[in-house]
Structures are given as C-alpha cells and as structure tokens.
Structure 1
Amino acid sequence: MADWLVVVGVSMAVMATVGLIRQAAWRGHSLVLFILPVAGLQQVQENWEAYGRLALLRVAGLAITLAGLGLMYVDYRENATIPSMPGQVVSGAANITSSPFVRSSEAALLMARGEGHPLTGRLHGTDLTTPQATLVNGVLTVHQGNGVLPELSVSLLLNWSAEAIRERRTLLVSPWEEQAPEVHLSWTPAGQQYPETRIISNGYRLDLALAPRDPGGFSGTIQLVLPDEKNSYLVGDFTARTNHLRYRNGKVDAAFDHPDTLAWVAEQYLQTQFPAGVLQNVDVENVILRRAAGEGRVEVRLIRSDGASERRQLGLEKTPVGWAVTPGSMTGGRQPPPEPPVQPEPVKPRGPATSEPLTDLLALAPLTGTELTVRESSGRERTGVLTRVASDRLWLRLALGAGNAEIAVDGAHIDSLGSRDGRRWQVATPTISDTPPPARPGDDPVAPETPYQALLGRQVRVTTGDGKTQEGRLQAVEGGRITLTVPVGAGTVEYFHALPDIVSMEAVR
C-alpha cells in the first residue's frame, strides 16, 4: 500500500510540473520558477486561471508521496523490533508486535534468577507478592488480589482441559510465532473500580510445563516475557488449582464471595453430618449466590457407599468469619426421578394387627426407603420414610411445607413402630438402658446431675467447642447428650450434642 502511494504521488507531481513548464513557455514566462516547488508561487497567484489547476495537482501529488513515505517508515520500525538470528528468516514479521525486552539480556537474567524458585514476576509495572494460579475451563490464570475482580492477572488461553492432563505437558512459544495462544494482561488503574485488559496474540516468549499433582491441582513451572510497554514477566514454580477458591496461608478463604466457595463450604458441612465411609461422593448441581444480601443456596446430589443417592438443599449465610451453613436450613431438595413402578406382591391377610417384639433397631435396616409410623413413649407419632438406622436411633424423612426434612428419633423414646402393610413392632427393651449398671468396687462415683436440667423446655443458645452456636428448645438431657428442637418450615428438626462438646448454654428468652 505504501509503495503504491509513493508511485501515484510522484507521477502526479511530475505530470503537473511538466504542464506548468509548457504553459510558462507558451506565455513567455520564466521556466525556472516552476521547476522549484515554491519559487513560482507569486507567478501562480498573478496568473491563477492559467496555472491554478496544475499547481493544485502538483501539491496533491507531493502530499500523497509524503504519506506513502511515512507508512513505509512505520512498517520499517515495526519490523526492526523483531530481532532474528543469523541465517534465520522470520515469516509473517509484519503481523507480529514485540519489544526489545523480550529478547534482551535483562529478561534472560531475570529468567535465570527465578528458575527453581517460587513464582514471582512483574505485571504492568507492579511486582507480584502473593500470586495464585488456577486452571479452569482451559485457561491458566495467575492473579493477585482478594476481590472478585483481581488487581493484577495474566491469563493464557491454552484450551487444555484439566481432566485430559494425565501426564507432564509442556509448551514453548517463540516471539516470531504467529499461531500462539492468546495472552490477556489485566490490571486495575488507580482510582478505578474495573480492570483494563490488553490482548497479546504474539511477540511474547513462553516456556511452560504442567504435571498432575492431586485431584484438585497441578504443579508447574513457567517463564513468560510479554512485549508490553511495562516489561511484564513471570518466572518460577507454582501450584495451579482447578477451581476459583482463594487460599490464605495454605487454607481456603471461606470469606471469598464466589459460587465455588459456597460449594466447598456445603461439601465440608455434609461430610460432618454422616458417619465416616457412608458418603461416596458429593456432586454439586447448582449454586445460587446473592452477594448483596449475604446469602446463598447450594443443591447437591449425595451418592452413598451402598449405591443409593439423594438430593439435598442447604442455605448459606455470610458471617464475620466467612460463609457458613445456616442452622436448620438443610432440606431434601429435588428428588431423583422416580423409577418405573414395580407391581407389588399381593399382601396376605394378616387378620387382626399384632405387634412383633423388637429388641435391636438395626433389625429395621432392610426397611430403608419404607414409610413407617413411629410412636414415642410420650404419645407423639411421626410418619416418614426411613432413611437410615443406627443402634440407638433412626432417621425419618418428613414432608415439611414445599420440601422435605430429615429428623433423628432417639431409640430410648420409641414405644412402637408400624408400616403401611399392617406390620407393627413393639420395642421390648430400649436401646439405651434407663437403669445404670450396679456399681463395682473401684468404679468412679456417679457424676452429679448436670446443671442443664434447669433449662429443660426453654429456648437456649448452645456454643460448642468448634465455636459454632445453635438456638433451639432444650428437649432432653440424658445419656451423656442433649436434644435440641429447632423449628423448620411447618415442623421441627431434632439436633443432638454430646455434653463434653458443649462450652456454654444459656437461656435466650
């Protein structure tokens, strides 16, 4: 393009000059005045009708020539910034934007000093002090800052799926390569709320290696030199996570506002609600984060070791120490699609209802998933689906409002049970003995009555050793533990706390 502008401009200037000389010879004027660009200006002004159009044509030709020469100079400066090795031909140099810093001895010295050390560098003129790395959706990002939008970040669009990296993988990019992964350099200018981003398509230098470290991350090493005006670079070893969790001092920052944080908090909470080995996997299906309101909701699918699965919903709230599950917010959530109906076997007539003696609650394990009616010694009845059984209690899933809730029923309070097909069981002996064994010589004396007995039936606030608090009505104090009743929807859920775990208990009203 620049070459054509020069040719056209020179041609126009020559043709206009020849025309001016011919007009001057025909009118008997001096020819020397029109050979020099400015000398004949007065002569043109006095005889504008004869020389005006040709003079304008010559000025236009000179202007086009200068524009073409300027474009040629710009192209030369851009091509000169890409150094090439002796005997090497750089292809596509006109489309590559680089800087002398990329191939300078200063950059080489920085790379040599940082090799084998923790990740460090400089992005847009600011040194990195606490960098973190993630590999999410095929993008490797190194960022710094505790906000949702990082203060500094550089992202490499590798298109590498974390699941597909099963062995060490490397990538080398030279400054003269045209088909290189895009690099996004972002920074937040002073006084602004949102970051600015520069997209770099080529002209940079990269030496990257990644290897699987554990199910949640990769170990890697990087040498990256960018051709920006601030001489940005990265060098060193790092650990890349496959989620957006933020870490402080090697621990997850539960105060970081991100759906991945809520999912992690919910998964940690569920692991504490089931005995060890019961849960095989926890799949997070949906996360709703309301950052302005400081609340959220997580829907998960639980897969047990016996192959059974169920869905749960948990409400979360923002506390001074970070995100936490709201007490009493866990419900049954959306249930799995129903299986094809199976024709039930005909029920044989049993005659008048009779009760079978039941001495061990574990005998009810084959009835998991069956609807039962539990009658307590106080006369209260609960009807729900049996979800699990232990030696001293059982769990029922009840329909509450528009959802479900799971409650635990203490075996010591059960009088009888019944099923929909007419079978009944009478609890012959309670799971927890009401009569203590006789004292033997050398045994410790019986502990005195706990002071919590005075709070029975009142609304209390319980603080446990892990710093958590819970409010509810104190239902019972026996068997080395307390029972709290917490309202949930249209019903209530019972929670149990061992006495040694309780730090304090006080009446709230």
Structure 2
Amino acid sequence: MDALLILGGLLLILAGLIWLVMLAFGTSLLWGWGSLIPPITLVYVLRHWRTARKAVALAGLGFIPLVVGLTLLASHDPVRLAAILSLDWAKPAYQAPAELDIDLHGELNGQAFAPQHAELIDGVLSLREGQDFFARREVKIRLPQGATKAPIRLDVLPEDSGNLPEVEVSWLLPEQDLPEARRLSKGYTLHLDLQALPPNKLNGDFHLVLPAQYGTTLSGRLELFTDRLRYRDGQLDTAFDSQETLVHVVEDHLQRRFASRLVQVQPIPLVTFPTTRVPLTVTARVNGQDQQVELVLRKGQSGWQVEGDHYPQLAQSTSAPSKPSSAQVPTPREPSRPTVDRRVRFSLLRLLSNPQQYQNLSMRVFKVSGGAAEGRFAGLDSDGSIRLSQQHGGAGQASFTLHPDEISRVELLEP
C-alpha cells in the first residue's frame, strides 16, 4: 500500500510539472523554453499565476499521497526508507573481484561462452557458466590417470587415438528442466599447458576445438582451482562453504584435542549448503587408533568452527625425528586389498536396493523425457527419489531430486 501511495504521488507531481511546461509554451515560446529551468519556472508561476495555478494545484495534490506513503513506510520499515532517501539505489552496484583470472574466448553450441568458474578435481577439468544448480553452459574434460599433476602438458589432435581425455559439453535451454549433453572420446583438438600456482591453483594456456557440428571452440588463458578450499592473504578461509573446509576444521580440532598431528579424518557425511549449523559423527584415526567423536560445527563471523573448542594450539616441533633403533623389528604391512570397481554391473535397481554402497559417489542420471544431470549421490528421499548434489565453487552446494519413474538410466562415474 505504501509503495502505491508513493508511486501515485510522484506521478501526480510529474503530471503537474508537465502541464505547467505546456501552459508556459502556450503563453509564449520564450516562457516555454525558460520554464525548463527551475528558477525561471518559479518566476513564470508568480508572473502568470492565473494560468499556472491549475498545474501547480495538481502537483500539490501529489504531495499528499507521497507524504502519507513515506509515513507508512517509516512506521514499519525504516531501514528501507533510509536506503531510499540515501540514494544508494542510484549508485552503481559493487562487483566483487573475480576469484579466478579467466581470459577465454569462444562459443559453446554456437552461443558465446564466458565461464566464471573453473576447477580440476578428481581428474575432471570443469569450465562452468552460471551460478544455478545446472550450468547454462559447461565443458568437462575427464583427463586420463597420470595427467592431473602439475605441470600438465597435453596435446590432442583429431586423428589421435588411444587413452584420450573424454570431452563433454552441456547446455541448458530456457524451456528445459535438464541440460542437454554431448560427449566425445576422439576427433577433437585440445591443448593444455598448465603450471602450478600455489596454494591451490593452476594457470596457463587452454585451447579446445570440437567438430563443426558441435559449434564449440574455446581458447585463451585459464586459471582454475585444484580443490574446494579458499585462501585469503595466504591463510585458509574457513568461511567458505565446502566439504573440504569442514574436514580441515575438524582435522585441526582433533589435532589440538588429542595433542597429536597424526590425525586422519574419514569422509564426513555430505552437507548441503547454505547452512550455519552441522552436527556430525566423525570417525578418525588418531595415533593409529580409531576414534569416533560427536561434533557440532557452527558458522560465525570468523568462519566455521567446532562448538566448545577451547583446546590450545599445538606447539611447533623443532626437534629432528629420531631414527628407528636397529633392535626394533618393523611391523609387517598388511597386503592391500584389491579395489572393487562398483561401476561393474551398476544399475538403477542396485542403487535403489543398496544406496549406502554408493553414497557420495559421482554419477550421471538420464531422464526419460531427455536430458542428463550429473552430481554426487546424496541418498534417497522417503518416496524413493534419488537426491544428487553439486558443488558450485563460490556459490555453495545445491541438490535436486528425481523420482525413479522419471529416470531411464543411471551411470556411475567413479569406482
């Protein structure tokens, strides 16, 4: 109501001023042009009051709803009124500096492509445009094993064959609820020359050209993250929302709690961001022994921290590690067990019958109506719907669900 009164009052005042200028032009051309200058407008009103009084009265009537609307706004939302009167809305919006220095030029599916986020995590190089759960446009390159450690130098030509990176491009049209995707295992041109940029970045040259029917070319300088941690002034930024940040906070807490740096935290349950409070049951190996601890993580002004954390910092060890005695007998290491590849014989039925086995694994879901979605498996809802989550760089983490009746096929992307 207050907004309508304010808007109506402003419209009446504007109509009165326009009418006044029209009356001035009707008096003479000189008065008309002069009335466009506020001081001369006032002189015209005083000299030709009988002619101008109708327009002045209309403009004066506009102040009545304007004052009433501002009074109502001040009574229930004074902060908004102060922002309006301070004219902050007229100032140009502040744009935060980009986290990554990305200077790429090109197109994807025939449309201009300007990625804002890039990362190389778990062997997948991802270039993403858009901050929603599904990217408007995205390029993913799954690098072969052994080609993910800096420096990365890789050249692929259309005629090459063998163990080549898999390239996937996807785009989301306005009328679609899931993006379309295309994958290539050969027949494209790729050039990567990336160098390490401490603490957790790579930067260098990037060049990608897909066959003409895909309408995709991308070339320039690229900077990307190698994990989901963020640093500020050389220190870890614990305010950033990611699984890795929580693991670091938990590990630091346990090291100080048990006064030992020999702490290995097991994977924690998947957390959906944004949130400010996370209760966790953490399993960790401390000094060679398994420990299970109940913790509550809370996000405050200084970032994520464990509730009730009053343990002091660990002293820096300056003494050299002692050499093992010759009398000590080395403990035989247990033979490593072969890793089971869960992608073998994976299906939607296996996922629904034993969801715990695939928790937090990356998978791709194909919808019956078309389109595909990719994310990490976050469990099943009460109605049996599959819930996937995605980490969006600085945008946090998002999740979505698909009912089994909507799914035609599920593909597991890691062992």
**TM value normalised by structure 2:** 0.39
Larger radius of gyration between Structure 1 and Structure 2: 1
Which structure shows the higher strand fraction?
1
**TM value normalised by structure 1:** 0.33
